[in-house]
Structure 1
């Protein structure tokens, strides 16, 4: 009986670990700063962004902000009609759908000085269905702690249901 419970618990744990994981990226790492010193094209091209990943913009709100913009506004560094404006200084953006997203600094001259990043979001390797075609997901709330490039594992969905069922059997 104990061996059966151990096997069930191991299967449940594997299900939980395989159901949901997402990376958190600090924009501009290794310095992790959204400022004029980073090459964001090089930074973004060296990463594989997937749905449900999060990008974090860290900066001084007195010196910078983050505007999500259209491709045309990204190309021209136009701040006239942003999709989203973030100005907290520790902004988390969840990449909810497969798409290309464009971010610039809205302070005069900063975008032209290189403070712009294009994020190509690919389907998550663990996703079984496409993400909803909703608007951008961004928040001025502080990011989850700790913020790093490591993978965070969350118990959600089917895996959580199995784990709870197994724990109930063991009780």
Structure 2
């Protein structure tokens, strides 16, 4: 019986994690962690929320990923990193609200703009920036939008309670 319970709990946690988080491959769909992708535009078009995770995909012979503070990001300086990632398929959890800064620590990649900053927000509410025009005539406006779960009247705690109810029902069925 113990193995069945463990399997049920594992499956439930995995299902809840899929519902409450997203895995984001940096630069996709237009690119990856490379010299061609415009990470500023990619980050503007992507919503980052608590519970999501970043995935950096790259060739280890050419690139790496270094998480730095704002000053390191602005100066493109990786001498005091928060974390270094070197595996070519690095997964970085976004566990807290706030700004995160990543650069490629390989010399010369600064010129190509190989850096990305992300603003991790709550799942409940986010701000969408909509822009029209080009160049100096670009006009942008921001609006705050409730997440689809909040609009439907569902919050994360309700999803967690639903998951726990599912586990409890499974336990009753197994015994």
TM range (shorter): 0.5 to 0.7
Offset at residue 88 of structure 1 (A): 0.3
Gaps spanning 5+ residues in structure 1: where? 1-12, 127-155
Tell which deviates more after alignment, 28-37 or 77-86.
28-37
Report what 1:164 is aligned to: 167
Report what 2:155 is aligned to: none
Deviations 1:41-67 (A, max 9, x none): 000000110001011000001100000
Aligned residues: 128
Distance 2:63 2:86 in 1: 8
Distance 1:48 1:163 in 2: 29
Greater share of helix residues, 1 or 2? 2
Using a 3 Å threshold, how does the CA distance of structure 1 residues 32 and 54 change in structure 2: closer, same or farther? farther
Q: Give me the CA root mean square deviation.
A: 2.5
Larger RCO, structures 1/2 (Cα 8 Å, 6+ apart): 1
TM-score by length of 1: 0.67
Report what 2:63 is aligned to: 64
TM-score by length of 2: 0.66
Using a 3 Å threshold, how does the CA distance of structure 1 residues 18 and 87 change in structure 2: closer, same or farther? closer
Asked if the contact 1:68/1:82 (under 8 Å) is kept, the reply is: yes
Secondary structure of 1:50's match? coil
Using a 3 Å threshold, how does the CA distance of structure 1 residues 118 and 18 change in structure 2: closer, same or farther? closer
